[in-house]
Amino acid sequence: MNVPVRHIHLQNIHKRFSAIRALRGVNLSLRTGEVHALLGQNGAGKSTLMKILYGLYQPDAGRILFDEQPVVIESPAQAIRLGLGFVQQHFSLVESLTVAENFALGALSERIYQPAALQTRIQEFIDARGMAIDAGARVADLSVGEKQRVEILKALYRQARFLILDEPTSVLSPAEIRNLFAELEALRRNDIGIVFISHKLAEVLEISDRITVLREGRAVGTTDADSSDAAALTAMMMGEAQPPRKADKGPWPRSQAAKTLLTVEHLQVRRDTGGLALQAISFELKAGEILGVAGVDGSGQQELVEAVLGLRAPARGRIRWPGGSPPRMGLIPADRLRQGLVPEFSVAENLLLAHADDPGLKMGPFYAPRKIEQLARKTIAQFGIVCRDPHQPVQELSGGNQQKLLVARAVHGSPPVVVAVNPTWGLDVAAAAAVQQRLRDLCRRGSAVLLVSTDIDEIYALSRRFFVLYNGRLMGWADPSTSIETVGRWMVGMADGSEARAKD
Amino acid sequence: MSLSAVRSPSASNRTGTPSWRLLTMTSKISSNKIAESLQIQFISEIHVALSSTEKWRAVAVQTWPSLVALAVASLAGLAVVALAGHSSLDAARIMFEGAFGDRYAVTESLLKSVPLLFTGLAVIVAFRAGIWNIGADGQFMLGALVATFLGVKVVWPSPLLAFAVIGVCAFLAGSLWAGIASALREWRFVSEVISTIMLNLIALQLISLMVHGPLQEAAGTYPQSDRLVEAARLARWIPGTRLHAGFLLGLALCGALWLLLFRLPLGFRIRAIGQNPEAARFAGIPVRRTAVMAMLLSGGLAALGGYVEVAGVTYRLYENISPGYGFTAIAVALLGRLHPLAMIPAALLFGGLESATRALQRNLGVSPVLAEIIQAFVILAVVGFEARRVRQWLGRRRGS
């Protein structure tokens, strides 16, 4: 094909969401006929950067050049006109319509809708690209991989020259991933520019021409895939490996005699969409320890937490509690506004949420508002939660203060087991340190903490032993003396030296 | 309604007329006063720690949309009356007198509010749990049906026993009816909006079937039941009026529901699953079971309304036993901010509106359709002005 090469340059892009600096001066150059991978941990800024390019967000500073011409992309519609296509993780397809009708949405040229003609036209378009999709099929009847293909084709139909794929492999089976990669190869030969967002190292190395690594809102570097390797990329992703901090951990009460509070045996759990989210995980949680679960987001942590909480039934394997039934558990969930708090409820009511049956807050069968308020005031003071009073709705609190409230609720009454998912997320350094100290204190009093964190520093700082999850599998056990390179490799799916390909 | 109604007597410059006497009277009996004090109580419960000026500001902020809604609806309603060729001023005066003109008018207004108290409570419980129970009407009818059956076919030794047994049976019948929708919702993921509307239609036909068949009056003339036996009826509470004990039961249940929602763990759970079912689930609340409980309670409350209407007012069952109470109840509940106590003035207001529009029919010969139009305006205005809050309440539904 004789089409001119096109370029996009993003220059010095900044973006801030209230307290969080999502992007701090990122540069990125894209061109047609190239697969450019954006690699980075969750929260590194990959998706934010692409949403800015696609007009979903406006940058606070910086500019975007299309073929050296500065443009302001105000909406996705404009991005589409500029030749951009965005395949998000959640597809934007109308399930009840056919493939052809989805293509035509917002792009129908004729005044009268002629289904047969449209379908023929779209089918020709699809066939010309050598992809196997029936234009007359209802989207609801397609597999996930096929839906993704429809999204890609739809963007091409709208004359996209650049395709942004946000974690395209996260929803696919290994066979579908092979398929996708073959299609991306074909697109590259046809001079389409592809942005491939991922945190999976092996895939990135396989498919891309160039790789840009983002960390904490900065572009750490861009390299050619050929001249790079997993170790170097891991180091870029994780940052300077910090020396394991062994000091200041206080006494370690665990002894051989420590009581086992939770036994997980060969646990298998299905995810909502069907496949296995966890494969044969086994571990024991002992009184007085903080057991870490490391891994990049979406490796099965959420399903593990739900299984331990009894919210998700194991497909196989067992979860055993010493008393037979689960003890009182404290929870700091991953998604504080969806899983943790009721935004419209007050601080006091949110505190009550996890202690609804606490007899200390009642008089007879009724709640005693005075006692609840007292507890709330005490908690607010103890944890330094900034709010007007216990009756303020938590949706008016800052994210950090919401997080403090969640932590306070989880450790209230020293439950024997606390499940903490990213407990210091969104907290400043001092507040994070305070929360970590709370968890340590809790353990010193004989409780156990299951610490699930995507922040490897936090795992190293808090836990004496931890394991790494990748794609639902336990990659290995480690402790703070294990090198961060080893752990980093496990986190991206590489068992010591060799690549670990999950078999679904 | 109240704004223009209150203004009209002085505007028509007729001091000493019944309507003027009435005005002083109403401020004593005063659904307004009740409304005010309840509103304050409600607000203060949320904003315990606010200083008193802040409290008043909060009251103003919370109340103004309702008041604006009512004012807009009143004006629209009177405009319709004017369009139909009547004097708006006359209409306003007649409506006011019809609702509050004398002791009898006031008690009739209260009487008309009774079914709305029960169905309103039903709507509140369900909506608080994030469940769109559009079926209070059908549940009401089921309660009326069961109460009629027991009140006609059974010989009751004492009124108290009748009250207890019929009340419980009616409640259970409504729970069962709502339970069908609840089971479909929780286990088959059927939208409760659809299922409850369908169940309304079935309930309607069921009543039709019964009053044409097994429950038809012995005389066999009209499609209606015989009158309930004396012992099964509810006592009239104020001599010379039709106001019956069901009104007091309704008020008591408002208090009870307030206790449940704001002072008992079950009610707290109901509110939690309504606002954020996912957070409730992670906090260990059995979301499904709580939703079912809320729906059973909702259906039961609506059905009690049906029982009370049959045993307190009509004494018989006929096809049109509910002129859409279950739907008006939604407006009542929303106007009352889904709060069991703040809903009381809203129910009284709609009861008064019913009396007022009936007076309009009687005295001005205004078509009953017109009366319904006025009511519909009120409902639209309320829902329109409360739209944001409604969305907030119902925005976070499961599975969406």
Residues of B in contact with A342 (CB under 8 A): 272, 275-276, 279-280
Interface test with A, best of B262, B268, B275, B276 (most A CBs within 10 A): B276
Of residues B375 and A104, more confidently modeled: A104
Residue B120 pLDDT more than 80? yes
Q: What is the mean pLDDT of residues B351-362?
A: 86
Strand segments (E) across B241-373: none
B233 close to B311: Cβ distance less than 8 angstroms: yes
Domain boundary among A414, A439, A469: A414
**A251 with A265, same domain?**
yes
Q: What is the CA radius of gyration of chain A?
A: 25
**A352 with A251, same domain?**
no
Structural domain boundaries of chain B? 1-101+348-400, 117-335
B94 contact A CB<8A:
no
DSSP state of A259: P
Q: Is B184 helix (H, G, I), strand (E, B) or coil?
A: helix
Could you tell me if residue A38 is inside a domain?
yes
Residues of A in contact with B276 (CB under 8 A): 338, 341-343
Phi, psi of B82 (to 5 degrees): -65, -40
Residues 6+ apart with CB under 8 A from A387: A347, A380, A396, A397, A401
A340 contact B CB<8A:
yes
**A263 with A378, same domain?**
no
Interface A-B: count of C-beta contacts within 8 A: 66
pLDDT grade, residue A502 (50/70/90)? very low
Return the HEC string of A229-245.
Answer: CHHHHHHHHHCCCCCCC
Contact B276 A341 (CB under 8 A): yes
Choose the closest CB to A389 out of B49, B285, B392.
B49
B49 contact A CB<8A:
yes
Tell me the CATH number at A468.
3.40.50.300
Q: By mean pLDDT, which of A290-304, A402-416, B242-256 is the weakest?
A: A290-304
Contact B49 A339 (CB under 8 A): no
B280 contact A CB<8A:
yes
A303 contact B CB<8A:
no
Q: What is the mean pLDDT of residues A33-49?
A: 85
Residue of A nearest to B392 (CA): A344
Could you tell me if residue A332 is inside a domain?
no
The distance of A336 to chain B (nearest Cα, Å) reads: 8
Dig out the tokens for B196 from the structure. 């409850």
Instruction: Quote the ipTM score.
Output: 0.78
Could you tell me if residue A333 is inside a domain?
no
Of residues A498 and A90, more confidently modeled: A90
Choose the closest CB to A339 out of B47, B49, B282.
B282
Residue A293: count of CB within 10 angstroms of its CB:
25
Domain boundary among A190, A205, A238: A238
Dig out the tokens for A299 from the structure. 């490796």
Q: Which domain holds residue A463?
A: 242-327+416-504
Dig out the tokens for A136 from the structure. 């007359």
Phi, psi of A434 (to 5 degrees): -65, -40
pLDDT grade, residue A203 (50/70/90)? confident
Residue of A nearest to B256 (CA): A366
Choose the closest CB to B279 out of A353, A356, A391.
A353
Q: By mean pLDDT, which of A407-416, A425-434, B274-283 is the weakest?
A: A425-434
Interface test with B, best of A90, A306, A342 (most B CBs within 10 A): A342
> How far is Cα A16 from Cα A421, in angstroms, rounded to an integer?
24
Residue B301 pLDDT more than 90? yes
A107 contact B CB<8A:
no
pLDDT of residue B387: 66
Residue A243 pLDDT more than 90? no
Residues of A in contact with B264 (CB under 8 A): 365-367
A417 bridge partner residues: A329, A448
Could you tell me if residue A155 is inside a domain?
yes
**A21 with A64, same domain?**
yes
Which amino acid makes up residue A325? S
pLDDT grade, residue A105 (50/70/90)? confident
Residues 6+ apart with CB under 8 A from A182: none
Number of domains in chain A: 3
Residues of B in contact with A366 (CB under 8 A): 259, 263-264
pLDDT tens digits, one per residue of B218-236: 998 899 999 999 999 998 8
Residues of A in contact with B269 (CB under 8 A): 356
> How far is Cα A415 from Cα A328, in angstroms, rounded to an integer?
6
N-term to C-term CA, chain B: 37
The H-assigned helical ranges of B154-276 are 159-188, 192-212, 245-263, 265-275
Which residues 356-385 of A are in CB contact (within 8 Å) with B?
356-357, 365-367, 369, 373
pLDDT of residue A268: 94
Residues of A in contact with B275 (CB under 8 A): 342-345
Of residues B146 and A389, more confidently modeled: B146
The distance of A318 to chain B (nearest Cα, Å) reads: 20
Residues of A in contact with B399 (CB under 8 A): none
**A399 with A420, same domain?**
no
The distance of A342 to chain B (nearest Cα, Å) reads: 6
% chain A with pLDDT above 90: 49
A343 contact B CB<8A:
yes
> How far is Cα B32 from Cα B30, in angstroms, rounded to an integer?
5
Residue of B nearest to A330 (CA): B283
Residues of B in contact with A90 (CB under 8 A): none
pLDDT of residue A55: 92
Residue B388 pLDDT more than 90? no
Contact B268 A333 (CB under 8 A): no
**A159 with A297, same domain?**
no
Residue B248 pLDDT more than 90? yes
pLDDT of residue A226: 87
Which amino acid makes up residue A168? P
Residue B34 pLDDT more than 50? no
Contact A391 B259 (CB under 8 A): no
A183 contact B CB<8A:
no
Residues of A in contact with B282 (CB under 8 A): 309, 311, 331, 333, 339-340
Contact B285 A352 (CB under 8 A): no
pLDDT grade, residue B391 (50/70/90)? low
Dig out the tokens for B128 from the structure. 């608080």
**A407 with A503, same domain?**
no
Residues 6+ apart with CB under 8 A from A227: none
Residues 6+ apart with CB under 8 A from A224: A209, A210, A211
Which amino acid makes up residue B225? S
B191 contact A CB<8A:
no
Residue B41 pLDDT more than 50? no
**A216 with A101, same domain?**
yes
B397 contact A CB<8A:
no
**A36 with A143, same domain?**
yes
A6 close to A31: Cβ distance less than 8 angstroms: yes
Residues of A in contact with B281 (CB under 8 A): 311, 339
A191 bridge partner residues: none
A61 close to A40: Cβ distance less than 8 angstroms: no
The distance of A495 to chain B (nearest Cα, Å) reads: 33
B399 contact A CB<8A:
no
> How far is Cα B380 from Cα B334, in angstroms, rounded to an integer?
11
Domain boundary among A238, A261, A292: A238
pLDDT of residue A249: 46
Dig out the tokens for A8 from the structure. 């996009």
Which residues 236-265 of B are in CB contact (within 8 Å) with A?
259, 262-265
Q: What is the mean pLDDT of residues A105-122?
A: 79
**A178 with A292, same domain?**
no
pLDDT tens digits, one per residue of A318-375: 999 998 888 989 999 988 888 999 999 999 999 999 999 999 999 989 999 999 999 9
Q: What is the mean pLDDT of residues A203-217?
A: 90
Q: What is the mean pLDDT of residues B309-330?
A: 93
Choose the closest CB to A356 out of B47, B265, B282.
B265
Contact B272 A365 (CB under 8 A): no
Helix B136-153 / helix B192-212 crossing angle, nearest 10 deg: 30
Mean pLDDT of chain B: 82
Residue B11 pLDDT more than 50? no
Choose the closest CB to A391 out of B48, B262, B281.
B48
> How far is Cα A181 from Cα B21, in angstroms, rounded to an integer?
86
The H-assigned helical ranges of B101-158 are 103-128, 136-153
**A228 with A321, same domain?**
no
Dig out the tokens for B93 from the structure. 């005066």
Residue A364: count of CB within 10 angstroms of its CB:
7
Could you tell me if residue A2 is inside a domain?
no
Contact A331 B283 (CB under 8 A): yes
Residue A424 pLDDT more than 60? yes
Residue A501 pLDDT more than 70? no
Q: By mean pLDDT, which of A117-121, A167-171, A473-477 is the weakest?
A: A167-171
Could you tell me if residue A27 is inside a domain?
yes
B44 contact A CB<8A:
no
> How far is Cα B79 from Cα B87, in angstroms, rounded to an integer?
9
B266 contact A CB<8A:
no
Contact A344 B392 (CB under 8 A): yes
Interface test with B, best of A325, A353, A363, A389 (most B CBs within 10 A): A353
Mean pLDDT of chain A: 86
Highest mean pLDDT pick, B26-30, B36-40, B304-308, B389-393: B304-308
Q: By mean pLDDT, which of A315-329, B214-228, B321-335, B361-375 is the weakest?
A: B361-375
**A172 with A143, same domain?**
yes
Residue A88: count of CB within 10 angstroms of its CB:
18
Q: What is the mean pLDDT of residues A37-64?
A: 88
Strand segments (E) across A124-275: 162-166, 193-198, 210-215, 218-224, 260-270
pLDDT tens digits, one per residue of A245-272: 444 444 444 455 578 999 999 999 988 7
pLDDT grade, residue B6 (50/70/90)? very low
Residue B256 pLDDT more than 90? yes
